[in-house]
Structure 1
Amino acid sequence: MFTIEDLFHYSEDPTITRFVPREHPSHPGLAPAVWAIAHMQAPMYYLPRDCPRIAFYQKPDSTEEDIQRFLGLSSASMVIAIENRWYPRLLDTRLYQYTFSSDTFYCLDKPAGYYLSHEAVEPIDVMPMGDLLAKLSQEDVELRMTPSLLPLRDALLTSSLHFSMIRMRNAQVEDVR
């Protein structure tokens, strides 16, 4: 079992014994690092690695209008949207959860749950995730599927909600209507 201080990394490769700091393509201004995610935000990574996704949830200062517009009737604490074309990959992907001690990590973004270490890190545990759709259904999240993430991205950018846009470089670029 993990502790509240444990951090996670998700990979389709079950053989990693040491994580070495590397540059992040979406954050070129940051020094090379090992990235990890906190337990509360970990479901954002229960997806194929290259799957574009948008996760969003309420912040203390989110407006009632944005809460109703984006979260509507959902009782979930977080919504994760993916593109329809990734559904078959979601079903077929074998993902592994790596657990790290938080010793060498610092928090980069608390609402997003992102932690960084500038030192190499060895996992304290690795375990297969199994059925990812089942895993997502066991969390306090709602999974939404859409032909394109771009309209949601554009709308969330001006909202008062917290959002994480992951692997958007792989999002559907043409209009699919």
Structure 2
Amino acid sequence: MRPAPGEVLHFSEDPGIQVFRPHVSASAGPLEALVWAVDAERAPDYWFPRQCPRAMVWLRPSSSRADRQRLIGDGGGHRVHAIEYGWLSRLLETRLYAYRLPAAPFRPFGNDRHALVAREAVEPLGAPVEVGNLLALHREAGIQLRLYDNLWPFWDAAVGSSLGHSAIRMRNARPRPGPTRRAGPPHAPTRIG
């Protein structure tokens, strides 16, 4: 589920939004009211229940072979999304909808060229489309989806790597493991999809 040329997407569990009005986002921190959307490259970041914490890594031209091996592995693909076991049932049960919005009113937000914002109300280009099975969507896109007991070791390894990385809703993740736990990504993630 990605936008067509001239479009951006907004994902929601609410299928009844008629107009997207600017609002202040508690998670993004700006004091300005904005409408948020994403481009095709970062649309997969939102193939999750809204409140689901997730950490993501992907290859970039400058990514080292060692980081690729350590965080993506030989399982194929160029991208890994990770969630905690406790969110799997929500991932499988959530009905997610994609709203197609005209790209013209949107501009990049800050240094992130993929988070897009509009400062005016935006009407969808049509009815929302149900995204469908989120697990299948990851598989069809060639994105490894991994399950961990705790996301923080994976995220800490991602931040210290040469891979592209992003995390969303980490405030909803389990607490960081104590100092007696080993650092770095867990040895045996469960890969699904």
TM-score w.r.t. length of structure 2:
0.84
Q: SS where residue 40 of structure 1 aligns?
A: coil
Which residue does 2:83 correspond to in 1? 82
Which residue does 2:29 correspond to in 1? 28
AA partner of residue 170 (structure 2) = M
Which residue does 1:51 correspond to in 2? 52
1:29 and 1:135 map into 2 onto residues whose CA distance is 31
Which residue does 1:73 correspond to in 2? 74
2:43 and 2:104 map into 1 onto residues whose CA distance is 18
Q: Deviations over 1:78-131 (max 9, x none)?
A: 111010110111111111011111010012223xx2111111111113111122
Matched positions, count:
175
Q: Which sections of structure 1, spanning at least 5 residues, go unmatched?
A: none
> Among 138, 152, 156, which residue is 2:154 paired with?
152
Does 2:136 correspond to 1:134? yes
Which residue does 1:167 correspond to in 2? 169
Q: SS where residue 56 of structure 1 aligns?
A: strand
1:82 and 1:156 map into 2 onto residues whose CA distance is 14
Residues 81, 149 of structure 1: 8 Å contact kept: yes
Change (3 A) 1:129 1:119: same
1:142 and 1:172 map into 2 onto residues whose CA distance is 21
Identical pairs, percent: 39
- Larger relative contact order (CA 8 Å, sep ≥ 6): 1
2:169 and 2:82 map into 1 onto residues whose CA distance is 12
AA partner of residue 59 (structure 2) = Q
Q: CA deviation at 1:175?
A: 3.9
Q: Deviations over 1:32-90 (max 9, x none)?
A: 21111111221111111100001110122222221221111132121110101101111
Residues 35, 116 of structure 1: 8 Å contact kept: yes
Q: CA deviation at 1:27?
A: 2.5
AA partner of residue 127 (structure 1) = V
Q: SS where residue 155 of structure 2 aligns?
A: helix
Which residue does 1:10 correspond to in 2? 11
Which residue does 1:64 correspond to in 2? 65
Residues 12, 48 of structure 1: 8 Å contact kept: yes
Q: Which moved more, 1:132-141 or 1:79-88?
A: 132-141
Residues 3, 9 of structure 2: 8 Å contact kept: no
Q: Which sections of structure 2, spanning at least 5 residues, go unmatched?
A: 182-193
